[in-house]
Amino acid sequence: MKRVITYGTFDLLHYGHINLLRRAKALGDYLVVALSTDEFNWDQKQKKCYFNYEKRKQLLEAIRYVDLVIPEESWEQKRTDVHEYHIDIFVMGDDWKGKFDFLKDEGVEVVYLPRTPEISTTQIKRDLNSLKAPNESE
C-alpha cells in the first residue's frame, strides 16, 4: 500500500482544496492529511482561522479522498510523521516548491502539485471583505 501525506490549514474549504486532495490521493492508496491546529496557525503562521480545528477536521474527514486526519502542531514534525505513518509520498502545493526536499533524505518521494490558479482562501477572504452590505452604498 502506498501512503501519501499532505499538510495544510484547509480553512474555508473550497474546490482548490478538493483538487489538491483528489490529486494527492491519486498518487497512492491511503491519504493522511496533517491539519494545522489553531495554536500552530496563530503562533507559527500568524493566521487566524474562520473555523476552529475540530470543525476543519470534521470537514476533511467527510471527504472521500481523505483516510486519516492528524494534527499539525509544529514545522519540525514532518520528519517524524513520515516515519510514524510509513509515508511513501509527501505532497504539497507548488507554492512550497523546494522547501521540503530534505524529506527525500528520509526515503520519501516529494511531490509539489500545481495549485488551482483562480482560487485561494486568502482571495476568498479579500473578496468577502470588499463586499458591501445591500444598503451600505446608499
* Coil/strand/helix, residue 10: coil
46 exposure class (CB count in 10 Å sphere: 0-12, 13-18, 19+): exposed
Question: CA–CA separation, 97 vs 118, rounded Å?
Answer: 19
Residue 77 φ/ψ, nearest 5 degrees: -70, -15
Q: Is 47 assigned a catalytic role?
A: yes
CB 106 within 8 A of CB 79: yes
Q: Is 132 assigned a catalytic role?
A: no
87 exposure class (CB count in 10 Å sphere: 0-12, 13-18, 19+): buried
Catalytic residue among 2, 45, 104, 125: 45
Catalytic residue among 2, 25, 47, 57: 47
Question: Which residue numbers are catalytic?
Answer: 45, 47
